[in-house]
Structure 1
Amino acid sequence: MADAVTPRAIVRAGLCIGCGGCATSAERTMRWTRHGLREPAGALDRAPPGFDRTCPFSPAARDEDAIAAERFPHAPIRDPRIGRFERAYVGHVAEGGFRAGGSSGGLVSWVATELLRTGRIDGVAHVAPTDGADGVFFRYGISRTPGQVAAGARSRYFPVDLAAVLDEIRRVPGRYAIVGVPCFIKAVNLLRAQDPLIGERVTHLLGLFCGHMKSARFVDSFAWQLDVPKDDVRAVEYRRKDEGRPANWYTAQLTLADGRQASRDWWHLADGDWGAGFFQASACNWCDDVVAETADIAFGDAWVEPYSSDGRGTNVAVVRSPELRDLIAGAVADGRLTLSPVDSDFIAETQAAGLRQRREGLAYRLAWRPPRGVAIRKRVAPSRSGLPWRRRLVYRARFAIARWSHRVARAAQVTGRPSLYVGWAGAALALYQGLIYHRGRVGRWFDRLEGIPPQDG
């Protein structure tokens, strides 16, 4: 029998994403797990009022389709991969330093700043860097000026939670926007329906396309592989921008306490293949929203040519609310934004790998190894029929890498032997890429098993 939907049941089932929506009272706070993720602490067996309806992974909560139908009832375009929307674009910000200052085309910071400039909001809750002295490099905070918004630009693949900013929004009157990944945006939407104050004050939601969330151990891995003391790290740049190189050539950079910097391209890292799932949060295995289907507007990277080769960065944007549709259209007409309209197929192509993982892969995981203790309910039905063995093993490999990377990194940390993790990660990545790219003995063996001709070159 499944347990009652309490914070403890969600945590034990591996469904807690650490959003902090349930930790905004004296009974519950947020804490770090031993694997560098966020989770609630305190009275976990007593569910806060409405918890089963506000936790984004609760089976009793409304799904993304239901939320979007209520929020965007008149959206003219409806696509099962992208959700409901008014218009979609590809391009970048043409004015100011937004494009140069962001990881991609600068649209996230531009929209947040424009909402502030035009008086639509009084503050925007988003992730910004800290001084890193306590090993925590990013936190949610509320920006009330364009300069503060700019300081929070760029990608942040680090665990954060909303608990503190939700408390501030409750304490300080005003209108607020929140920037977040799909599950966080869903959590805020669910909370707005249960908490009248949050419902009144959170007026805009800006979503970020998401492949999965990483643990804080990802930074430890950078430090181990760059051969710097992890306790000396004060700042992390996951995607250092270089206009002379393609946008999808990621470079990690660490800044140390003495000001020195160390960097390395992701493809030279033992765990540098994002799709392999190193340090992925468990709840990400059970998510079916890639493109923030419940946000007023959602942003991603244009991971298709010719845009992915443009080192200056290019966004895709899916506009769902009529208000932001008109805001964007006006800025395009004024030459402030350089955007071209695209259709849902284009958006889906830029996120093809993520959509496979959250559709076909999720269906397989639900049939193969569903969460225990919570009767999870998703928009994707459990299924493994018609899936070739190679694809099944790819999904199993990702699942195993996500799970064991936390454990092996923990062992490396406790024993003081980083090579334990780095060696394991290199072997795991070779196996995974053998399945994906038909490489090495593993790939050739499965080619023969499935009757696939040998690959030339």
Structure 2
Amino acid sequence: MSKLNSIQEVIDSNLCCGCGLCESVAGRNVLPMKYDSSGFLRPHVQQEPDPNAEQLVLQACPAVNANFPLENEIYDLTWGPVRSMRLAYASDAALRLKASSGGALSAILCQLLSGGEIDAVFHVGADPNLPIGNQNVISDSAHAVADNSGSRYCPSAPLAGLSRLRRDGRRFALVGKPCDIAAAHALEISDPDFRSHFPYLISFFCGGIPSIAGARRILSELEVPESDVAEFRYRGNGWPGKASVSTKSGVTRSMSYSRSWGEILNRHLQLRCKICPDSTGESADIVCADGWHLDENDNPDFGEHEGRSIVIGRTERGEALLERCVSDCSLICEPIDAAHLAKMQPFQAKRKQLVFSRLVAMKLCGLKTPDFPLRPLLRAARRAGLIANLRSFGGMLVRALRSRR
């Protein structure tokens, strides 16, 4: 299958993940990110991009490539580079409650700010003009970090702001989805000055990006008109916390995490997420995730508990930062191992293992696919076994055939 050779081909192939890299490199007047008819953020071509800019985008675009970190003594085939694994939560009780997973990620960001290692955090928060949507935000205080904490299960394009941030002159911690951070890391490889602007890359385990139509389905079930929404939280204020909406008239309604994510949002995922080879943020310095408690059958328990996160240090600078967070008691931690992690995150443990079979199904149907490194994906697929791969292959084959009609 021929490689994706243009940004328009990425869009037409339905493989765009909506990171916003193309807007940043080519210019907002050339490729602005906007919602498409399916409710995903996509570049809308206003004019032909400069050929050099387009090639730079294609070299880093997550729809075109996936550059895994080099396999070495710290590389785990399932979890990526691992220098340490911890269960952790913020020592600040208010932050632990407000954030999605015990506040560990937010506590790490606050540590960077208070220690003067960065000037601000660049991440995603709620859009006041579209409360169910996202906007890119700059937080330069612990208060601002807390205000913008919490998972946002709808499209976001944090890389759209990279060029502006580089001109800003400040040092930022960049927080993004695994695909965002992978693209940023690819830019870093070709730009030795990148880390002077973005000294820390922070990510989180990702189950996929739902269309904004998913949030609208939640509003419909809660019987709240979108025009009456004053605030919308996908999670937080507890763990896992509920999806909650506050109306302009002062009414608050909520829905359980099991219902909102498990039965609504994850049924609105984009195609690129279904073949994601890196849902655990392998290119980040530090990655966080839900450290679910286990029930009597060793399955994740999604009932309400005090929040806690899985925290993985991937790089030397990331591990050094975690050590500082532990030593100054901003994080309360305990070590865990990969076997325990797999029980807490069984979906993520299987995800990479099923990518190879899905790529084969797409190729058999004549669909374009990203240029992923196949050797590690084949090794991962062998761990899943024949039955799981056949089911995965069959499911993608059905989707691929439908997409051709």
Q: Shorter chain as normaliser: what TM range?
A: 0.7 to 0.9
| 1:2 to partner: Cα distance | 2.1
Q: Is the 8 A contact 1:174 1:201 kept in 2?
A: yes
Q: Is the 8 A contact 1:141 1:165 kept in 2?
A: no
Provide the alpha-carbon RMSD of the alignment: 3.1
Residue 321 of structure 2 corresponds to residue 327 of structure 1: yes
Residue 269 of structure 2 corresponds to residue 280 of structure 1: yes
Partner in structure 1 of residue 74 of structure 2? 77
> If the length of structure 1 is used for normalisation, what is the TM-score?
0.76
Distance 1:394 1:320, change over 3 A: closer
Which of 256, 274, 280 is the equivalent residue of 2:247?
Answer: 256
Partner in structure 2 of residue 311 of structure 1? 305
Q: Is the 8 A contact 1:299 1:317 kept in 2?
A: yes
> If the length of structure 2 is used for normalisation, what is the TM-score?
0.85
Which of 58, 61, 74 is the equivalent residue of 1:55?
Answer: 61
SS of the aligned residue for 1:109 comes to helix
Partner in structure 2 of residue 184 of structure 1? 180
Q: Is the 8 A contact 1:2 1:375 kept in 2?
A: no
Partners in 1 of 2:225 and 2:98 — Cα distance? 28
Which AA in structure 1 matches 2:196? E
Distance 1:3 1:323, change over 3 A: closer
Gaps of 5+ in 2: none
| 1:162 to partner: Cα distance | 2.0
Residue 361 of structure 2 corresponds to residue 368 of structure 1: yes
Distance 1:266 1:99, change over 3 A: closer
Which of 117, 121, 131 is the equivalent residue of 2:114?
Answer: 117
Partners in 2 of 1:94 and 1:402 — Cα distance? 47
Partner in structure 1 of residue 287 of structure 2? 298
SS of the aligned residue for 1:292 comes to coil
Distance 1:174 1:375, change over 3 A: closer
**Based on CA coordinates, which of the two structures has the bigger radius of gyration?**
1
Partner in structure 2 of residue 126 of structure 1? 123
Deviations 1:391-447, CA, capped at 9 Å, x for gaps: 74567558878999x9xxxxxxxxxxxxxxxxxxxxxxxxxxxxxxxxxxxxxxxxx
Partners in 2 of 1:163 and 1:268 — Cα distance? 30
SS of the aligned residue for 1:121 comes to coil
Matched-pair identity in %: 24
| 1:57 to partner: Cα distance | 2.6
Which of 150, 163, 173 is the equivalent residue of 1:167?
Answer: 163
SS of the aligned residue for 1:97 comes to helix
Deviations 1:298-338, CA, capped at 9 Å, x for gaps: 00001242784561111010012223323323443444422
Aligned length: 386
Distance 1:168 1:286, change over 3 A: same
Residue 214 of structure 2 corresponds to residue 218 of structure 1: yes
SS of the aligned residue for 2:294 comes to coil
Partners in 1 of 2:342 and 2:328 — Cα distance? 28
SS of the aligned residue for 2:44 comes to strand
Distance 1:206 1:236, change over 3 A: same
Deviations 1:78-131, CA, capped at 9 Å, x for gaps: 211111222110121223522112111111111111101101011111111222
SS of the aligned residue for 1:273 comes to helix
